[in-house]
Structure 1
Amino acid sequence: MRISATVAAVSGALVLSAFAVPAAQAAGSDAGSYRSDVAKIREAAHTSGRATLSGSTVATPADATPYALNVTFANVKVNNGKPIVAGTSGHLSVPVTYTLTHGADVDITASDFLSGPYIYKGTFADPSNMLFGEDAGTCTVTSATAASCKATLDIYPGEGDLSNVDAGAWKAGAEAIALNGQDPTSASFDITKVGLADQGNFASPNVTRLAKLTVNAAPEPVKKGKTITVTGKLTRANWDGANYTGYSTQPVKLQFRKKNSSTYTTVKTIKTTSTGALKTTLKATVDGYFRYSFAGTSTTAPINATGDYVDVK
């Protein structure tokens, strides 16, 4: 869901900048979907003169914008606070909860009232990437002016949603739109009758690259006291190439557990080569399992290799 910019609320004023609907997102949207409606509102909000919406040209005054909707957000929690780990394909459904507070003049139960969270890379005023959900959040009214809400972010790593520069720290935001009977696909659509609230700078867990780690201990079987060579490789998701590439110069622990034990103990720590390769040696003592263990970084998820059993004679 990569976009170039957003409609941001800074110091209480709407700052409108260029918006592009991501190709992957647009392909899965229809005219009545949450993401499609939000995209059209944002597009109409920033465009001066005339805005093209769903093939229809809508006359829009150069200074026409949505009005500031009396809605605020709090307690935004993304993925239960755990890092979002993405590989190179598939669909990630990331849960989000948030609290919505609104003025008495806002009807959040209206069929055309929409709200939902998002996460963004960079600053709120000028994000380099944003990720949304395909559907609006669902809210349970808790008082006359508040609701408890939940939603899902939908991420497709293999369809251009993520690039390698996106790994690491993100922030979270939330938005609400009151269409008030306005149809974004209609030639009579009036953006000035639509309410928009957009709030950011909430905490978000890091978005990290999925890691893979292998291990092979040889020879097997081996005589007691002889040398065992343990090789392996640490790779991580390459969001720019839809493959996995070696993670260089990273500290990785070689761990061992005895045959009838459930606990691994660190034997030594070594670093990966420029290609992510691992290789070390040690003396054979007792039967057991060897594995490599990577603690992870701010951009890459932790991973333990599946233990490789060595029979010591």
Structure 2
Amino acid sequence: MKQAMAGLAAGNTSAAVTAFETAVSMAHAPDAELGLVRSYLQAGNYRQALAYSAHTAGAHREEPEGIVLYVWLLHLGGQEAAAKRILHEAQSRLPGNAALERVQRKLDDSAGPSSGTSAVAGAFAPYSLPPLTEAAAALSGSGVLIDGGRRVLAPLAAVAHARKIWVRNGLGHLRKAAIETRFDKYGIALLKLDQSLPLTEGFMAAGKDPFPGSVMYAVAYATVRGAVADWPVMRHGFLGTPEGNGTDWELGITMPAGPHGGPVFDASGALAGISMSTPIGKPTFVPISRIKQLTGDRLGSVAPAEKGPRMAMEQVYEKAMGAAVQVLMAR
């Protein structure tokens, strides 16, 4: 277990997985299994983490830690109804359990942090790689990685007055960033990273704007204390309609309270746009055509004109873990 945790902290997820698997083979213990789930997540393997978390929750029905983590992973991946159903079933078996009550409050409080103290606090967030030691750093927005991982699109308001800027993906990888271009008319900033971040394999931008009413997956980071690493939150729904002169779109998807700016994917898993918010907090949608107009060929690979098959939600979330970033800044 010590070897596995050391591997995770150092970013060596393959070593962590091997050590945790050895621990699990020696003792069928929830803490080792939870560590294995966390290792899968830090490696970006959400589907594997979700499946093994379901096993842990089912095999240790009287242990709340595995149930709490499984519920939370379902919540992060947009499967809210399933998360609440499993949590309620567990609460009926273990009435008054403090860990289950805490995760219930976290699900109910959409404005609250998605990570923090809990019965499995260590498993609720990735490690920051490297650690962010700037005491004044704070989460200021969400962003989307483009240009092969070399640049990020983010809300201008999140970085306009920053003395220092960083971005960090859902795998915990942290990079320094700086404003390269300001698109003041649209409230968007293009950031350039000091070192590129890895994009999920197969990440592509949609070739054209989606139709209103299309199935969409919106991703953003919830509010966290300070600048701690976190996993993104994904929600799905139907895209809203253009308003006014047709340049402003409703997002049409209810998002947890927190800073916007994250990616919006279509049903085939291609980047269809980004989510923003009005000054009063109403979620809006910036379509891919406008992003292409602003960034040109820096957007990256473009999906074929003919739409692919609908992608499983778990696979979309895996893309989001690499493509959606926390935007952090210090004044």
Q: TM-score scaled to structure 2, two decimals?
A: 0.25
Bigger fraction of residues in helix: 2
Larger RCO (CA under 8 A, 6+ residues apart): 2
Asked which structure has the greater CA Rg, the reply is 1
Q: TM-score scaled to structure 1, two decimals?
A: 0.27
